Homo-oligomer: A and B are copies of this chain.
């Protein structure tokens, strides 16, 4: 029975008034048709100035569990016992350490240390910055230890990886476990559109550092997502288009003594975008 016929019948029964009031109820029928959630996380550098116990509290308040563990909470030279202790403390608080980094590697010894550390922490991926001359050696370690290496781009001031293309060009023909951690803030400062980078490097896109920036020039700064220049609509469309399966890690490099409000606003904006795109 069509709704029009239904209305007419109700009218003939003198029930039109009651029927007209119905639309104000019925919340369940109009609940948001949210799009699938991507996995969210925090890039540990965000908590550089924060005690680990406070960082755990912040992650709980943000309702986020994935952490890219930065060495500020667990130095690379830590004993096995220290590693077990910190990893256990995080896990007991419901935090999933999904990668470690960013780890800089300027010597073979640093590469060895990074890969050993990752194995002991128990992750299957390192976010790192090896010098060019160490890429061959890093690749042998990737194969030997079956660990993924996501190389992180910095901005235009960086000599090694000023943008994602400088990463991609150096790993695209290497072992498929070598890829990119795309930092969309640094990329934007380098004049690179994040959405286009996602699409161009999708086959090697292992991790994301997500933030907004005040401009697309070298001296731009991190700012709460939505207040800066990055097109998050286009970025989200690109992530959906390439069916990104990694973690979207938020890195907030403003108010580092008190990052929670800006991080919360940023994640809120991203979630609002994610619900619609």
Residues in chain A within 8 A of chain B (CB atoms): 23-28, 30-33, 58, 61-63, 165, 188, 191-193, 195-197, 200, 216, 224-227, 229-234, 255, 260-262, 264-273, 275-277
Contact = CB atoms under 8 A, between A and B. Distances in A.
A61 B229 contact: no
B27 A229 contact: yes
A227 B267 CA distance: 12
Nearest to A200: B24
For the complex formed by this chain, how many copies does it contain in all?
A: 2
Contacts of A192: 24-25, 27
Nearest to A255: B61
B193 A24 contact: yes
Contact of A191 (B27, B63, B260, B266): B27
Nearest to A270: B272
A255 B31 CA distance: 26
B32 A232 contact: yes
A196 B24 contact: yes
A24 to B, nearest CB: 5
A268 B272 contact: yes
A33 B27 CA distance: 31
Contacts of A62: 261, 265
Given A265-B268, A269-B271, 8 more contacts: A27-B192, A27-B216, A32-B234, A224-B264, A226-B268, A260-B261, A264-B268, A272-B275
A195 B227 CA distance: 26
A216 B28 contact: yes
A195 B197 CA distance: 37
Contacts of A272: 225-226, 232, 268-273, 275-276
Nearest to A276: B276
A270 B30 CA distance: 18
A105 B264 CA distance: 37
15 contacts: A24-B192, A24-B193, A24-B197, A25-B191, A32-B231, A32-B232, A33-B233, A62-B261, A225-B268, A226-B275, A261-B261, A269-B269, A269-B272, A271-B272, A276-B276
Contact of A273 (B196, B225, B267, B276): B276
Per CB-CB distance, the 3 closest pairs between chain A and chain B, nearest first, are: A272-B272, A268-B268, A265-B268
